[in-house]
Amino acid sequence: MSDEREPIRVGVLGARGRMGAEVCKAVDAADDLEVVAMIDQGDWLFNASDAGAEVIVDFTTPDVVMDHLHWCIDQGINVVVGTSGFTEQRFERVRSWLQHKPEVGVVIAPNFGVGAVLMMEFAARAARFFESVEIIEQHHPRKLDAPSGTATHTARLVAEARAAAGMAAMPDATKDEIAGARGAEIDGVRVHSVRASGLVAHQEVLFGTAGETLTIRHDSFDRASFMPGVLLAIRSVISRPGLTIGLNPLLGP
C-alpha cells in the first residue's frame, strides 16, 4: 500500500482574474495539487464545498475578501489569501472567527514573491540605521487599491523597527504642499504610489542618513513570480491551524 496522499483539493476564488487564472494554471501543473472549483464573480461559493475543496485560494478584491474568509472558516475549509486590503482590525476579526474553528488554517500574505518577502525583511533590518525612509511602489494601472498591500506592510514593519530602536520622527521641512505631493503616511512612513502601463509590481524602499542612501528594490515582471509562494502556502496551510500572516514563517531559516 502506498503512503502517498491524494492530491490536495483546491478551490480558487477570483479564478478568472489575473492572479486567479495564474494560480489555476500553477495548481493544475503540480502533481500533488488539484483544482476542484474555479469560482468568480456571480458564482456560488458552495460549488467549492460541494467539490470537497480542502484549501481555498482567494485573489479577489478587498471589499469581498472578508466575507469569503468568514464563509471558508465557517465551512471548516483552510484558506490562502493574496487579496490586499488587510489591516490589524481585519486580522483581529479573522482571529475571532478562528476561535470557533481552531482546526482551520489561514495564510494571508501581502506578497507571495520570495524576492518581495526578502525585500521587506531587509528593509526592516535596515530601518534603525537610517534617519529617513520613504517607499515608492509601482503597479499596473488596473490595480484597484493604493498604496499596495506590500507597501503598507513594509511601512508597518519599518515603523515597528524604528519604534523599537527609539528613533525620532524623520526630518522634513515641508511647509507648502499640494495635497498628495508627499505621498500617503502610514505609521509615520511616506508611501508614494505610481500606476503606469507596462508595470506589473515593483517597490523601492529608499533609506537616507548623513552622506549615504540605501535603496532596496524588488521587481515582479511576471505573475509567475508569485506562484512558488502560493503553492508553498497551499501545501503548508493544511497542517498549520490558526492565522499565519506573511510568507516568512513558511520559508524556514
Ligand X SMILES: O=C(O)C1=N[C@H](C(=O)O)C[C@H](O)C1
Ligand Y SMILES: NC(=O)C1=CN([C@@H]2O[C@H](COP(=O)(O)OP(=O)(O)OC[C@H]3O[C@@H](n4cnc5c(N)ncnc54)[C@H](OP(=O)(O)O)[C@@H]3O)[C@@H](O)[C@H]2O)C=CC1
Q: Which residues are known to be catalytic?
A: 139, 143
64 binds ligand Y (CB under 6 A): yes
Q: Quick one: CA torsion of 79, 82, 88, 93, rounded to 10 degrees?
A: -30
Beta-carbon contacts of residue 227 (< 8 Å; ≥ 6 apart): 22, 23, 26, 112
Q: Which is nearer to ligand X, 49 or 84 (CB)?
A: 84
Binding-site partner at residue 139 among ligand X, ligand Y, none, CB < 5 to 8 Å by type: ligand X
Beta-carbon contacts of residue 219 (< 8 Å; ≥ 6 apart): 115, 200, 201, 202
Which of 59, 86, 97, 130 is in the footprint of ligand Y by CB under 6 A? 59
33 binds ligand X (CB under 6 A): no
Are the C-beta atoms of 82 and 21 separated by less than 8 Å?
no
The terminus-to-terminus CA distance of the chain in angstroms comes to 35
148 binds ligand X (CB under 6 A): yes
Binding-site partner at residue 109 among ligand X, ligand Y, none, CB < 5 to 8 Å by type: ligand Y
Only one of the segments 14-22, 30-38, 46-54, 163-171 lies at the binding site for ligand Y (rule: CB under 6 A); that segment is 14-22
The answer to whether the bond into 241 is cis (omega within 30° of 0) is: no
Which of 61, 91, 114, 188 is in the footprint of ligand Y by CB under 6 A? 61
Report helix, strand or coil for 190: strand
225 binds ligand X (CB under 6 A): no
Which residues contribute to the site for ligand X (CB under 6 A)? 84, 110-111, 139, 143, 148-150, 201
